[in-house]
Amino acid sequence: MATFPTKRLRRLRYNPLVRDMVRETALTKADLIYPLFVVPGNNVKNEVRSMPGVYQMSIDVVVEECKEVEQLGIPAVILFGIPDHKDEVGSGAYDPNGIIQQAVRAIKAEVKDLLVITDVCLCEYTSHGHCGVLEGENILNDETVSLLAKEAVSHAQAGADIIAPSDMMDGRVSAIRKALDYKGFNNIPILSYAVKYASGFYGPFRDAAESAPAFGDRRSHQMDVANSNEALREAESDIEEGADMIMVKPAGAYLDIIWRVKEKFGMPTAAYQVSGEYAMIKAAGKNNWIDEERVMIESLIAIKRAGADMILTYFAKDVAKFLDKNK
């Protein structure tokens, strides 16, 4: 093996063209999925307090936003709904005229080259903010799964292109797959939030989606942040149940998990750069403590380098603009 002075690793770093030539990881527009928060009303655009540049939008505004997203060359959005009415069983989630169902129909009618992914969960629709039906303080798994399957079907009926269950109940992927197939949606893919941790990084999302649990937390269904082997078991069971793509969430603090899941299963793998990751970069950027644009790109390159094929990120529009500017 050659050693110094024969071996000089810096040879490939002096010239920017050579650097471009040997670069191993690229971030492209095709990697991006942009999350959107839909609220009732007309002409509503409320900035989320803890997420500068992210808005709750009424359907008319969301449709315009989707046109811009399509123009920028971002291939997909994922929708989260905030209903005007919440109840114990989250009925707004599977109402054929619910906020998401209406939003999907409106977007699909006006925006052609954009994949609409819907997040399937009950937490935004329940009065208690939990991800399922409660008995006392316990979330009932199997009862919740039937409602999630109903929710998924109603999203598909509205025109959703991809269904993304984020609830972490056991068995929901197979229940959703069966329900979709039974209704003739056998070609609609499932992107499962297979590996989702009980993370403090979701804080700002709960402002955006108005979905903070009224009591307790999500540790009875979301994963313990200390576990890594368990992530492989979660991913494996979702794949066996029929997930077409799997997700790891959050992303930045879980690069090891993305890497292990990708290595082991070789599945199309998404990573979610969640609200807290975005908020931290934004806050430090606003204070001029870091170079926001540079750290944005670095954080996303790192997620791709770890093995993610696609990234859900609130920076999607900024990234698309950056890529246009730096062509």
Using CB under 6 A as the criterion, which residues of the chain lie in contact with ligand PBG when the complex forms? Answer: 119, 121, 123, 166, 202, 205, 218, 274-275
What is the identity of the amino acid at 107? Answer: I
Report in angstroms how near the CB of residue 119 gets to ligand PBG at its nearest: 5
Q: How many CB atoms lie within 10 A of CB 200?
A: 10
Report in angstroms how near the CB of residue 138 gets to ligand PBG at its nearest: 18
For ligand PBG, the closer CB: 91 or 166: 166
d(CA 129, CA 213): 4
Report in angstroms how near the CB of residue 233 gets to ligand PBG at its nearest: 20
Report in angstroms how near the CB of residue 313 gets to ligand PBG at its nearest: 9
For ligand PBG, the closer CB: 37 or 185: 37
For ligand PBG, the closer CB: 174 or 199: 199
H helical segments located in the chain: 16-22, 59-71, 99-110, 141-158, 172-182, 203-208, 229-241, 255-265, 275-286, 292-305, 316-325
DSSP string, 10-79: GGGTSSHHHHHHH------GGGEEEEEEEESSSS-EEEETTEEEEEEEEHHHHHHHHHHHHHTT--EEEE
> Of all residues in this chain, which one has the CB nearest to ligand PBG in the complex?
205
d(CA 295, CA 326): 16
User: What residues does 35 pair with on adjacent strands?
Assistant: 78
For ligand PBG, the closer CB: 218 or 304: 218
d(CA 11, CA 34): 38
Report in angstroms how near the CB of residue 284 gets to ligand PBG at its nearest: 18
**What residues are labeled active site?**
196, 249
DSSP assignment letter at 200: G
For ligand PBG, the closer CB: 36 or 59: 36
Report in angstroms how near the CB of residue 58 gets to ligand PBG at its nearest: 20
Positive or negative CA dihedral for 246, 124, 116, 50? negative
For ligand PBG, the closer CB: 154 or 166: 166
What is the identity of the amino acid at 170? Answer: D
CA distances from 125 to 15, 42, 100, 176, 252 (A): 54, 20, 11, 18, 28
